[in-house]
Structure 1
Amino acid sequence: MSARPRALRASFALVVSVVLALGAAAPAVSAGPVVPVAGGDHGFPHPDLYRTYEATKKYRSEEKAIADGFERTDVCVEDTSGANLGGMGYHYVNPANIGSTDPTRPAAVIYAEDHGGGKRKPVALEWVVPDTGQPVPRAFDRDFDGPEPIPGLGEVYSLHAWIHRENPSGVFAPYNPRVHCGPCPE
């Protein structure tokens, strides 16, 4: 097994454990957000990502995410495998959305800190589907990653979409090299 799946599994396990402790199931450099262009030319690699963006842009306000059932965590997820993949950020998990593959209902909104202002800003979304023996879940014409074991949820599939902050590793990569926990790199 490569270091990447172990790091991903450990990172998400930590996040889910924190969320479970809250009673639920389940720092960035100054790169700008990914913003769709007027007229439908959004530049996303799949047309449903525009629907996702429209449904989640209100989460620029942490308070709106919390009001919609996303539970805040104070655990920032970053690759610790030594592969320098970057980070994910802070997962705000909505237990009601675990199992959804609906583009407008992610299980988590992921935030990173704006080191210039100290506020959290949305950077990505994540869908989490428990493995019940079904075929690999799909969204945006791609298979989810996994399955990987997550304490409290068992084996799960997951898919990230970096649509609120550009990710040089790709829209669907789990980690973003521009997201870091702790001091912002010089």
Structure 2
Amino acid sequence: MKRTAVLAAALLAALGLSTAPAGAHPGDVQVQIDLAKVRAATAQYHYLPNALDAGYIPVGDCVPGMGYHYLNPALAGPGLDPEQPELLVYAPTPSGGRRLVAVEYFQVDADGDLATDSDRPSLFGVGFDGPMPGHEPGMPVHYDLHAWVWKHNPDGMFAAFNPNVTC
């Protein structure tokens, strides 16, 4: 089993999809296995109609450095499941389509206080960004974490923005 995991990590590295979180050892096999599970769980959403059928809905315009966000409201509650991200992120394609590039995890800040972060969630050994105010009216104070599992991000797998994504 361990040899298979090491081979999987090497394959992901060759594909440019294996950037480990900041501070993690690049050979952290468990992080690579966990990210591979996220890819397996979200591969079906490369075909956007599958994401729509699964309950993901578009929210807002294209965000430079991120892309288009699709939220699944049924998943936007307490608790985190790496294989069921609350949001999918798509980059525009030259032909006018959308290409799946990242997943985003979202958690409401329990106390709604921007000055405290004792409830900061983490996945893959990485703390979420935040707390931050809502990006739109009615959106709560929250934490989020992007994982660029489908497009290389030179700023890092878990950076909020990807300079390779333009609107």
Superposition TM-score, scaled by structure 2 size:
0.75
Q: CA offsets, 1:109-157, max 9 Å, x none?
A: 0001111x22111011101100104621011111100010113232100
Residue 73 of structure 1: CA displacement? Answer: 3.9
Q: Is residue 2:83 matched to residue 1:104?
A: yes
Return closer, same or farther for 1:120/1:38 CA change in 2, 3 Å cut-off. Answer: farther
Can you give the 5+ residue segments of structure 1 that lack an aligned partner in the other structure?
1-36, 79-86, 182-186
State whether residues 160 and 172 of structure 1, in contact with CA within 8 Å, keep that contact through their aligned partners in structure 2.
yes
Q: Is residue 2:99 matched to residue 1:121?
A: yes
**C-alpha separation between the residues in 2 aligned to 1:154 and 1:74?**
16
Which runs of structure 2 are paired with 1:144-183 in the superposition (5 Å)? 144-150=128-134, 151-181=137-167
Map of 1:141 onto structure 2: 125
Number of aligned residues: 136
State whether residues 70 and 94 of structure 1, in contact with CA within 8 Å, keep that contact through their aligned partners in structure 2.
yes
Superposition TM-score, scaled by structure 1 size:
0.68
RCO greater where, 1 or 2, for CA within 8 Å and sep 6 or more?
Answer: 1
Can you give the 5+ residue segments of structure 2 that lack an aligned partner in the other structure?
21-30, 112-117
Return closer, same or farther for 1:154/1:142 CA change in 2, 3 Å cut-off. Answer: same
SS at match of 1:40: helix
Q: Is residue 2:34 matched to residue 1:48?
A: yes
**C-alpha separation between the residues in 1 aligned to 2:6 and 2:124?**
21
SS at match of 1:154: coil
